[in-house]
């Protein structure tokens, strides 16, 4: 139900994102999804990689002075059409949950579907809500197979 995400704190200066992605790329890490959020002094980079690349990516980042941690998020599928996301968000709202952040997955798992990475105010409650409403979520094994 949950997948692992790497979160990296990155200083805001020209070239910082390139340097980080170069480090990962030279280490053979293939980023499947990436999100960048910034504040005045630093950015938060969120990355999805296959499970066999999580530990090497985190180790490489930390060895090079980055603050990196692994946390759990949900990867849910929504119909790839107008209102597909809106319908999912209405269900989440009705359940009293809020989306802390969301970004799209770069690779689709099925035609006609869009995959989204979501972090909720209560991930366990969101996972149960999705299961009860037959909303497909991707497991870490699903992500590894992409």
Residue 39 is part of a domain; what is its CATH number? 3.30.2130.10
pLDDT at 1: 83
Which residue spans within the chain are E strands per DSSP? 2-11, 33-38, 42-48, 67-79, 99-104, 113-120, 137-138
> Is the distance from CB of 133 to CB of 91 less than 8 angstroms?
yes
The total of other beta-carbon atoms located within 10 Å of residue 23's CB is: 16
Give me the number of domains the chain comprises.
Answer: 2
Question: Where is the domain boundary, 12, 38, 70?
Answer: 70
pLDDT at 108: 62
The verdict on 90 and 122 lying in the same domain is: yes
The verdict on 90 and 135 lying in the same domain is: yes
pLDDT at 59: 97
The residue count for the chain: 146
pLDDT at 67: 97
The verdict on 65 and 46 lying in the same domain is: yes
Tokens of 28: 């053979």
The verdict on 77 and 126 lying in the same domain is: yes
Kindly give the parts of the chain with pLDDT less than 70. Answer: 106-109
Question: What is the Cα–Cα distance from 124 to 2, expressed in whole angstroms?
Answer: 9
pLDDT at 30: 94
For 134, list phi and psi in degrees, rounded to 5.
Answer: 55, 35
What range defines the domain where residue 110 resides? 73-144
* Model confidence, pTM: 0.90
The verdict on 115 and 127 lying in the same domain is: yes
């Amino acid at each position: 139900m949950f997948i692992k995400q790497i979160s990296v704190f990155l200083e805001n200066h020209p070239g910082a994102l390139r340097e980080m992605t170069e480090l990962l790329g030279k280490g053979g890490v293939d980023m499947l999804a990436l999100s960048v959020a910034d504040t005045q002094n630093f950015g938060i980079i969120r990355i999805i990689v296959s499970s066999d690349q999580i530990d090497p990516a985190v180790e490489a980042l930390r060895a090079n002075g980055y603050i990196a941690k692994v946390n759990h998020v949900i990867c849910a599928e929504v119909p790839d059409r107008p209102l597909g996301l809106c319908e999912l968000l209405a269900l989440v709202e009705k359940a009293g949950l809020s989306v802390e952040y969301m970004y799209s997955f770069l690779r689709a798992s099925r035609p006609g579907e869009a995959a989204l990475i979501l972090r909720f105010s209560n991930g366990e409650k969101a996972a149960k809500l999705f299961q009860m409403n037959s909303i497909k979520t991707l497991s870490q094994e699903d992500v590894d197979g992409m």
